[in-house]
């Protein structure tokens, strides 16, 4: 994928069909059908929100993330992998907005960004190559003893331009490489190389999508019935996991393709070496009424599971769940049940929805997210933190860590950890000098970059703090709060928070507390992601670090 993206799908085809490797297709299918649509949908929402607030950094950042995700989907050369993302963003943009105008604007903006990414990618990668490329297709085929099968694959690739993301010039080079690798072992003769390939059938992109979605499944189902009529039914051996249950299995899609492949030469076939169709049409061909019942049972059980999960999803995630359900339903019309669940990301979608359902309690999900992020981040930053600690010791003295009692969840006190940013300089009477005199340039740099906050990751891991929440303040402020302001302690304090991305120390105390209470009432997983992203942008811009005319924030003296 990194060095020669155009042969990615060909390599995957060989690993699945000839080498029997399942991991390649399962991982890439889960990414293209589940992970990528979720990333793109959430990024679309975040970019749209940034545009409404005129936050250019947020718009650019999430648009770049969309571009990278689209490139990762398209790097194999198949535009059809963007269809799941298209379904999810259209559904989510519709359900996330109430008015018809907002629905239309969000959908139009999403499509514009998606197709822009598609065009940019095509401009970057659209090159016709006449060499076989970095993937040793011929050598792998010979090593696997799959020369004959590879010849059939090459023939099928020639039947339509850009099959598996390959131009005919590249296919010809792969054919020559295959002939060279296999003929030396007496596995191919010269007639293989001079095979006459049919001219490809030309279809527009829209025609191709409609044909693949509605025509091919029905046509291929007819070939399955014809095969059973001529050669008899394979029975239960054609069903998923048949080898584990009965000791034998039959790959019907591949058998049907090998038998009736010539009938597909005018375009009534897919670009792979099999003939896929929906299991609702195929199972009855093998087992009659029992096959239909099995297919319907699989669909109904899946529907019940999805309905239960969707009913329990948090409101913010529900639109994405509906979109992923639509992707699964579409894939069911094209593939076998197990293929959809394992190779096309169906099980990943269910697992993702189950995760949000189990952690529907926003505080439980929040705590899980804190641990999952804080532990790896602390390990990754161990050496930089050690270096920073040495610099603090040299420039500011000991102790390196500043410990102070702060009120946390429900007002319970804990020791908050930070890198010290001020010296212990005192006047002639032994009293500490004002903050502005003890705050050195190095300490001011630590604060402006928020590097002094990094030791608080230890507080997060201990469960005393969260990544996102109202900032922990001094204990002496507790009796000064109004009942409404005291509600800021209904959640764990955070390293960053809603007030920090909306002004930080440049805000008045009244404004800060109002923002803290708003966060307590409106906290969600997506809001936390938004705050974390905005925090990174604000730290880079170093806005609102201190109150105007002060080295630190002014003390709170009550409302």
On whether the CB atoms of residues 458 and 419 are closer than 8 A, the answer is: no
pLDDT score at 198 = 47
DSSP 300-362: HHHHHHHHHHHHHS-TTTHHHHHHHHHHHHHHHTTS-HHIIIIISSHHHHHHHHHHHHHT-SH
Q: Average per-residue pLDDT in the chain?
A: 78
Structure token digits, residue 516:
């803290």
Structure token digits, residue 463:
């469960």
SS3 64: helix
Distance, in Å, from the CA atom of 25 to the CA atom of 249, rounded to the nearest integer, reads 20
Structure token digits, residue 269:
């076939």
Q: Is the dihedral of CA 258, 262, 268, 272 positive or negative?
A: positive
On whether the CB atoms of residues 422 and 551 are closer than 8 A, the answer is: no
On whether the CB atoms of residues 38 and 313 are closer than 8 A, the answer is: no
Distance, in Å, from the CA atom of 507 to the CA atom of 362, rounded to the nearest integer, reads 28
Q: Which residues contact 373 (CB under 8 A, 6 or more apart)?
A: 467
Q: In whole angstroms, what separates CA 321 from the centre of its chain?
A: 14
pLDDT score at 486 = 92
User: Where along the chain do its domains lie?
Assistant: 137-193, 205-357, 363-541
Structure token digits, residue 147:
């020369």
- Kindly report the number of other CB atoms within 10 A of residue 459's CB atom: 24
pLDDT score at 549 = 42
Token pair 């669909």 is found at 299
pLDDT in tens, the chain (559 residues): 444 555 666 776 676 666 655 566 667 778 888 888 999 888 888 888 888 878 888 888 888 888 888 877 776 556 667 788 888 888 888 888 888 888 888 788 777 877 777 777 666 555 544 455 667 777 788 887 778 777 777 776 665 544 555 666 777 788 888 877 887 544 444 444 444 444 445 555 566 666 666 777 777 778 888 888 888 888 878 776 666 666 677 777 777 777 776 555 444 444 444 556 777 888 888 888 888 888 888 889 999 999 989 988 888 889 999 999 998 988 888 787 887 887 788 888 999 898 888 776 667 778 888 988 999 899 888 898 999 999 999 888 888 888 989 999 999 999 999 998 888 777 777 777 777 778 888 888 888 888 888 999 999 999 999 999 999 999 999 999 999 999 999 999 999 999 888 876 677 888 899 999 999 998 888 788 889 888 887 777 655 544 444 445 677 887 7
Q: Which residues contact 479 (CB under 8 A, 6 or more apart)?
A: none
pLDDT score at 456 = 93
* Range list of β-strands (E), 335-436: 401-407, 413-419
pLDDT score at 122 = 62
Distance, in Å, from the CA atom of 315 to the CA atom of 409, rounded to the nearest integer, reads 25
Token pair 């001529």 is found at 230
Distance, in Å, from the CA atom of 17 to the CA atom of 156, rounded to the nearest integer, reads 14
Distance, in Å, from the CA atom of 94 to the CA atom of 174, rounded to the nearest integer, reads 45
Distance, in Å, from the CA atom of 397 to the CA atom of 536, rounded to the nearest integer, reads 29
Q: Give residue-wise pLDDT tens across range 462-508.
A: 999 999 999 999 999 999 999 999 999 999 999 999 988 887 667 78
Helix (H) or strand (E) holding 111: helix 100-125
On whether the CB atoms of residues 274 and 253 are closer than 8 A, the answer is: yes
Structure token digits, residue 51:
């545009």
How far from each other are the two terminal CA atoms of the chain, in whole angstroms?
60
């Amino acid at each position: 994928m990194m060095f020669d993206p155009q042969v990615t799908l060909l390599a995957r085809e060989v690993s699945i069909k000839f080498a029997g490797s399942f991991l390649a297709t399962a991982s890439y299918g889960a990414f293209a059908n589940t992970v990528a649509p979720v990333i793109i949908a959430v990024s679309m929402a975040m970019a749209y929100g940034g545009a409404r607030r005129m936050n250019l950094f947020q718009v650019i950042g999430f648009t770049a993330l969309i571009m990278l995700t689209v490139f990762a989907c398209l790097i194999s050369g198949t535009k059809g992998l963007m269809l799941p993302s298209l379904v999810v963003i259209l559904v989510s943009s519709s359900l996330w907005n109430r008015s018809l105008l907002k629905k239309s604007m969000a959908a139009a903006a999403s499509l514009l960004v998606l197709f822009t990414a598609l065009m940019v990618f095509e401009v970057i990668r659209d090159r016709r190559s006449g060499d076989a490329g970095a993937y040793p297709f011929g050598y792998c085929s010979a090593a696997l003893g799959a020369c004959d099968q590879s010849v059939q694959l090459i023939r099928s690739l020639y039947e339509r331009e850009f099959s598996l993301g390959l131009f005919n010039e590249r296919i010809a080079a792969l054919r020559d490489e295959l002939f060279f690798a296999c003929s030396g072992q007496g596995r191919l003769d010269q007639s293989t190389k001079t095979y006459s390939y049919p001219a490809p059938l030309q279809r527009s992109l829209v025609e191709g999508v409609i044909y693949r979605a509605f025509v091919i499944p029905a046509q291929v189902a007819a070939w399955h019935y014809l095969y059973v009529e001529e050669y008899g039914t394979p029975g239960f051996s054609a069903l998923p996991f048949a080898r584990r249950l009965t000791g034998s299995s039959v790959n019907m899609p591949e058998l049907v393709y090998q038998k009736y492949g010539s009938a597909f030469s005018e375009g009534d076939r897919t670009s792979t070496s099999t003939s896929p169709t929906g299991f609702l049409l195929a199972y009855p061909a093998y087992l009659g009424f029992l096959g239909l019942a099995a297919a319907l049972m699989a669909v109904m059980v899946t529907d019940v599971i999805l309905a239960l999960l969707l009913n329990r999803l948090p409101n913010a995630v529900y639109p994405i769940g509906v979109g992923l359900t639509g992707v699964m339903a579409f894939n069911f019309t094209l593939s076998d049940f197990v293929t959809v669940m394992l190779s096309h990301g169906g099980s990943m979608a269910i697992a993702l929805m189950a995760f949000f359902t189990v952690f529907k309690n926003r505080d439980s999900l929040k705590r899980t997210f804190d641990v999952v992020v804080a532990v790896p981040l602390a390990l990754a930053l161990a050496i930089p933190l050690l270096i920073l600690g040495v610099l603090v010791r040299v420039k500011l003295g000991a102790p390196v860590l500043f410990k102070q009692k702060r009120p946390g969840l429900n007002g319970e006190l804990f020791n908050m950890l930070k890198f010290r940013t001020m010296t212990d300089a005192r006047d002639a009477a032994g009293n500490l000098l004002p903050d502005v005199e003890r705050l050195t340039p190095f300490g001011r740099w630590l604060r402006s970059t928020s590097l002094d906050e990094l030791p608080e990751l230890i507080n997060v891991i201990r469960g005393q703090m969260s990544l996102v929440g109202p900032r922990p303040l001094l204990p002496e402020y507790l009796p000064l709060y109004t009942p409404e302001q005291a509600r800021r302690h209904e959640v764990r304090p955070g390293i960053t928070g809603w007030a920090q991305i909306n002004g930080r120390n440049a805000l008045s105390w009244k404004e800060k507390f109002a923002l803290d209470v708003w966060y307590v009432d409106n906290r969600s997983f997506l809001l936390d992601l938004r705050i974390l992203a905005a925090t990174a942008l604000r730290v880079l811009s170093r806005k609102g670090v201190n109150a105007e005319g002060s080295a630190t924030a002014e003390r709170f003296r009550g409302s």
